[in-house]
Amino acid sequence: MTSNSTPLYEVRSVSKNYGNVVALRNVSMSVGAGEIVGLVGDNGAGKSTLVKILSGVYSPDSGELLVEGVPHVWKSPHEAMAAGVETLYQDSGLALDLTIGANVFLGREKVKKGFLGKLGFLDQKAMDQEAADDLERTGIAVHASKRTVGQLSGGQRQAVAIGRAVAWAQKVIILDEPTNHLGARQAGEVLSVMKAAKARGLGVIFISHTLPHVLEVTDRIIVLRLGSVVRNAPTSEFTAESLLGTITGLHVGTE
Amino acid sequence: MSIIVDPVQESSFEKPDRSQLWYRRLLANQQFLLLLVTIAIFVFFAFNRHVFASAGEFGNNVTNFCTLVLLGVGETYVIATGGIDLSVGSTVSLSGVVGAIAMEHLAMHSELLVLSVGTVVCIGIGILVGVVNSALIHYARLVPFVATLVTWGAGAGMCLVLTGGAPIGQNSGAIALTVPKIWIFSYPALIIIAITFVAGLFLHLSRFGRFTFAVGSNAFAARAVGINVKRQVTSVYVLSGALAGITGMFVYMRLGSGAPTAGTGQELIAIAAVVIGGARLTGGSARLSGTVIAAWMITIVSSGLIFMNVSPNYNQVAVALLIATAATAQALRKSARQSS
Amino acid sequence: MNKESLTSGAPTRTRWTGAKAVVAASLAVSSIALVGLGSASVAGASSSKKITIAFVVGAEADPFFISMNAGAQAEATKLHVDLIWQGNPSQYSPSTQIPVVQQVTTQLASAKPSALVLGPTDPKALEPYVKVAVKKHIPVFNVDSQDASLKNITGFVTGNNAQGGQAAADALAGAMGYTAGKTYNVVVGMTSPTATTNVLRYDGFKAEIAKKYPGIKILAEAYSQSSPTTANTNIQNWLTEYSQSSKTPLNGIFAIDGTNAEGAASALQAGGLACSKTVCGSGHVALVGYDAYSSNVSLLSSGVFAALIAQDPYQEGIDSVFNAYTYLKTGKLPKGVSKTTTLPNVTLLPTSNSTFLAKYTYATA
Ligand SMILES: Nc1ncnc2c1ncn2[C@@H]1O[C@H](COP(=O)(O)OP(=O)(O)OP(=O)(O)O)[C@@H](O)[C@H]1O
Ligand SMILES: [Mg+2]
């Protein structure tokens, strides 16, 4: 759907049920390189479910996932990460008892050189240093010191999670309500981080209930309602009012 | 690009850490406090009974410490994942009993061979219990408390079935090995202390330890970054079982026989050591040094109370008081941190 | 951000209640299973119109009760009566014993046992159920331990714990080479300060010392709480405190039951203080234990134990069955047998011959 080239990451006709609850029904969407796609919808519309399918936490009941046109089946979130898809989960992907550095490198730890490394001994110093650099590069100044993430404020935690996702993302970055817990100024910074990621050529999927943010930063908006895509159009086609109307379903004549 | 985290807020965070005087930092460290209390307890007993400070009594305490510490180590790993292992006490008994039966059959052979086989059998039984525990957790979907309660009961029952209630075997050679040879340490004690040390390094400095804490802190996050949560949980229960098996062999050596009640009640003392050592029962946070100091503390308290001719019921009360104090200290420090 | 950690924290509460529920459920299931077992075997046994004697003991798997079972079974076979043997496998507790007794007494008339031999796990808790049985014309006998009141009990066979304690004092004095005018230091390893058998044995032990061996000084008691490991620790500590080079060197140990005997024997061996078969003089600590577990009996010959006091559960089983049988046939206890029979405890020595040792060594299943 972006220009003519193959989208970076695409889902086709994905459905997902939780028992009797139909969370997603025949959903198709895609994101291209250097594109920010907004994913909006009311509470319970199925946004986070779609995110978890995109990131490999859940597998869809039916439908296909394609990275650069190649079908993929994620057996674990790790496989999606290895394919270049990074995710910031709405319900925290951080281990609060671990330090900032440990969280940034969680699951991708650096080990010492030589025999100790073979035994799995960690090169904590290198990780702390690199984590601090990574976070700073994305514009986040939290010292990746001995402090655990649980000792940070809600906003600082969110910053670490975003920083981690941005630092590792190679192709696509999915941010599920990243501006939660953030003050107005910090939320603005998250939007800049997204723009920077876009400038790096990443595909960005941005989920938010703050519609002005969505309208400001996205190139295209996908509206989910009760598990179905009800609108998929360039951001320029929406006004604040029409977007709200599409989300709630009270707006006539947009479908 | 500017900075997300407010620099003012940031520096107010750093400040207390940096300007804090060294002794205040030490006092905020639960393991250090524990060490101070342990020393105070020791001094108190030593003043009451001078024999308490003798090398002979240190040797006794090392032996007793060694019957507890590995259970505490295993339990620390398990509790770090947010689980609990109630089965270790019966695993001590069961591995000792099965090991004793195996060694009885080999009685003709050399002492070294017999004891080696016994050790392997004991560890094998421990691993088996660990595998059953994790199977109950993963496949029967039991919470760890219930899963290990099942193996706890089954293990104790098996001991009675296998022994008919009476101890098995009579091995004076094994008993002799538990006598201190190098100052206050017997050879098996040195091995157990070495295992404890290595287990501490792995818990706090290796990827295995990191995964252990990650699983206990936030299993979803761990899974999301590709940590195999099931495998990690299985590993720690197997580790806990294996360490209980080694303890079972050590207790066999102390008694010279495999007794069906050799490890009875040890699981609760091990869990107490972990909690007193500063671990959080809901997982994600534990210090092996804390467990080790607490195990030593419980050991000398028990010995001290024997010397003071105190009824064993007070021994339990004493351990309960230590747990309560440790838990309160933990809660107080936490709320102090949150309000600062 | 906290949703995940909140939900992962919540299960702790459900975990605990879940655990409780399962414990409760499994207890319920196991007691149902026990009751079920009881009904099956009682019903089966009564189909032939033989005399049926129900035997309900504490911990079935204990070698002590296994020996008692062997004696009872031998006598039952001899007299051509059916024996129903019941008890919780491992738990010595009224809460597991009561359902079993209840089941036996609430049988249909056709399946009722002719008599009940009961080793109550608590002197008071079982009394109401005994009353029920008597009301239903099932005579009740006690074995080994007794109900607080023997009013409803037809006969009682038991070992003599006080006499066993005396015998232990005699054996210990002998092993230490007691001579009047000298001082001998002794410690006592017990299970708990309140266990009835412990108290009876210890009272007998102390009475005998007061009477015959004023030179024996009891320095301390220590409690093992049924753990041989703790018993070992206790003795280890006393051996250090009252070391052979101290002003009060330890001369003897009385280990009051099988668990303490095991712990004390290993501690003595580790300390290199065990007597050998021929020598038990200064520099050695004489050990007198209780209960003839085979592993302890094997340490008699090497001299680690100077003596073991053994009960006679096999004979208790024989006498109980014979008393019940005679009472059912004649309405009276056998001639010359009074309501309470106390069987003396026997003293096993390193010099005892092997047939004698084998006779009193507790059986294993
Ligand atoms: N693990 C689950 N088990 C059962 N039902 C679920 C689960 N997760 C989500 N649901 C249900 O699926 C539907 C979609 O939920 P989802 O979390 O995807 O919505 P959302 O659009 O992210 O909402 P929000 O804006 O509140 O985050 C809802 O009806 C929800 O109740
Ligand atoms: Mg959501």
Which of the 8 DSSP states describes residue A71?
A: E
B219 → chain A, closest CA residue: A95
Query: What is the structure's pLDDT at A147?
Result: 82
Pocket of ligand 1 (CB under 6 A): A 18, 21, 23, 41, 43-49, 90
B58-92 pLDDT tens trace? 999 999 999 999 999 999 999 999 999 999 999 99
Domain locations in chain B? 61-298
B116-172 pLDDT tens trace? 999 999 999 999 999 999 999 999 999 999 999 999 999 998 998 888 788 898 898
Identify whether residues C7 and C59 lie together within a single domain: yes
Query: What is the structure's pLDDT at B108?
Result: 80
Per-residue HEC secondary structure of chain B comes to: CCCCCCHHHHHHHHHHHHHCCHHHHHHCCHHHHHHHHHHHHHHHHHHHCHHHHCHHHHHHHHHHHHHHHHHHHHHHHHHHCCCCCCCHHHHHHHHHHHHHHHHHHCCCCCHHHHHHHHHHHHHHHHHHHHHHHHHHHHCCCCCHHHHHHHHHHHHHHHHHHHHCCCCECCCHHHHHHCCCCECCECHHHHHHHHHHHHHHHHHHHEHHHHHHHHHHHCHHHHHHCCCCHHHHHHHHHHHHHHHHHHHHHHHHHHHCCECCCCCCCHHHHHHHHHHHCCCCCCCCCCCHHHHHHHHHHHHHHHHHHHHCCCCHHHHHHHHHHHHHHHHHHHHHHHHHHHHC
Q: Hey, CA dihedral for B309, B311, B315, B317, is it positive or negative?
A: negative
Identify whether residues C213 and C139 lie together within a single domain: no
Q: Is A245 on the interface with B (CB under 8 A)?
A: no
From atom 9 of ligand 1, which residue's Cα is the shortest distance away?
A: A49
Which ligand lies nearest the alpha carbon of A42?
A: 1
Residue C122 resides in a domain: yes
Q: Phi then psi for C147, rounded to 5 degrees?
A: -75, 155
Question: Do C266 and B312 count as a contact with CB atoms less than 8 A apart?
Answer: no
**Run of H or E including A223:** strand A220-225
Residue C115 resides in a domain: yes
Identify whether residues C141 and C201 lie together within a single domain: no
Identify whether residues C124 and C248 lie together within a single domain: no
Query: What is the structure's pLDDT at B334?
Result: 67
Identify whether residues C53 and C118 lie together within a single domain: yes
Beta bridge partners of A206: A38, A175
Q: Is the Cβ–Cβ distance between B299 and B36 less than 8 Å?
A: no
Q: Is the Cβ–Cβ distance between B219 and B81 less than 8 Å?
A: no
From atom 1 of ligand 1, which residue's Cα is the shortest distance away?
A: A18
Residue C353 resides in a domain: no
Question: Do A140 and B223 count as a contact with CB atoms less than 8 A apart?
Answer: no
Q: Is the Cβ–Cβ distance between A179 and B43 less than 8 Å?
A: no
Q: Is the Cβ–Cβ distance between C254 and C189 less than 8 Å?
A: yes
Which of the 8 DSSP states describes residue A182?
A: -
Identify whether residues C305 and C317 lie together within a single domain: no
A114-157 pLDDT tens trace? 999 999 999 999 998 888 888 887 666 666 567 889 888 887 88
- B193 min Cα distance to partner chain C (Å): 19
Q: Is the Cβ–Cβ distance between A150 and A160 less than 8 Å?
A: no
Which ligand lies nearest the alpha carbon of A224?
A: 1
Contacts of B125 (CB under 8 A, 6+ apart): B91, B94, B95, B98, B99, B245, B248
Query: What is the structure's pLDDT at B13?
Result: 37
Q: How far is the CA of A166 from the centre of ligand 2 (A)?
A: 20
Query: What is the structure's pLDDT at A142?
Result: 67
Query: How big is the B-C interface in CB pairs under 8 Å?
Result: 152
A58-83 pLDDT tens trace? 999 999 999 999 999 999 888 999 99
Q: Is the Cβ–Cβ distance between C253 and C286 less than 8 Å?
A: yes
Q: How far is the CA of A53 from the centre of ligand 2 (A)?
A: 13
Identify whether residues C222 and C194 lie together within a single domain: yes
Task: State what percent of residues in chain C have pLDDT above 70.
Answer: 83
A183-199 pLDDT tens trace? 888 888 889 889 999 99
Identify whether residues C273 and C328 lie together within a single domain: no
Mutation pick from A98, A115, A158 vs chain B, by most beta carbons of B within 10 Å, is: A98
Identify whether residues C76 and C187 lie together within a single domain: no
**Run of H or E including A24:** strand A21-31
- What the block records as the tokens of C295 is 């592993």
Residues of C with Cβ-Cβ distance to A180 under 8 angstroms: 1
Per-residue HEC secondary structure of chain C comes to: CCHHHHHHHCHHHHHHHHHHHHHHHHHHHHHHHHHHHHHHHHHHHHCCCCCEEEEEEEECCCHHHHHHHHHHHHHHHHHCCEEEEEEECCCCCHHHHHHHHHHHHCCCHHHCCCEEEECCCCCCCCHHHHHHHHHCCCCEEEECCCCCCCCCEEEEEEECHHHHHHHHHHHHHHHCCCCCCCCEEEEEEECCCCCHHHHHHHHHHHHHHHHHCCCEEEEEEEECCCCHHHHHHHHHHHHHHCCCCCCCCCCEEEECCHHHHHHHHHHHHHCCCECCCCCCCCCCEEEEEECCCHHHHHHHHCCCCCEEEECCHHHHHHHHHHHHHHHHHHCCCCCCCCCEEEECCEEECCCCCHHHHHHHCCCCC
Mean pLDDT of B317-325: 82
Identify whether residues C202 and C301 lie together within a single domain: yes
Q: Which domain holds residue C265?
A: 161-310
CATH number, position C107: 3.40.50.2300
Which of the 8 DSSP states describes residue A122?
A: B
Q: Is the Cβ–Cβ distance between A193 and A105 less than 8 Å?
A: no
Could you read off the pLDDT tens digit of each residue along chain C, which spans 365 residues? 333 333 333 333 333 333 333 333 344 334 333 333 333 333 333 344 678 999 998 777 778 888 899 999 999 999 999 998 887 666 667 777 888 888 877 766 667 889 999 988 887 888 888 998 898 889 999 998 888 888 999 999 999 999 999 999 999 999 999 999 999 999 999 988 777 788 899 999 999 999 999 999 999 998 887 789 999 999 999 999 999 888 999 999 999 998 999 999 999 999 999 987 666 777 899 999 999 998 899 999 889 999 999 999 999 999 999 999 999 999 999 998 999 999 999 999 999 999 999 989 988 75
Q: How long is chain A? A: 255
Where is pLDDT greater, at C17 or B192?
Answer: B192
**Run of H or E including A117:** helix A114-118
Beta bridge partners of B258: B168
Residue C27 resides in a domain: yes
- C239 min Cα distance to partner chain B (Å): 9
Count how many domains chain C has. Answer: 2
Question: Do A106 and B227 count as a contact with CB atoms less than 8 A apart?
Answer: yes
Question: Do A158 and C2 count as a contact with CB atoms less than 8 A apart?
Answer: no
Residue C267 resides in a domain: yes
Residues of A with Cβ-Cβ distance to C5 under 8 angstroms: 92, 96
Taking the CA of residue A24 as reference, the ligand 1 atom at the shortest distance is 14
Identify whether residues C208 and C248 lie together within a single domain: yes
Query: What is the structure's pLDDT at C110?
Result: 65
**Residue of A120, A124, A189 lying closest to B208 (CB–CB):** A120
Q: Is B173 on the interface with C (CB under 8 A)?
A: no
Q: How far is the CA of A47 from the centre of ligand 2 (A)?
A: 5
Q: Is the Cβ–Cβ distance between A198 and A171 less than 8 Å?
A: no
Query: What is the structure's pLDDT at B324?
Result: 83
Dist. CA C253–CA B306, nearest whole Å: 16
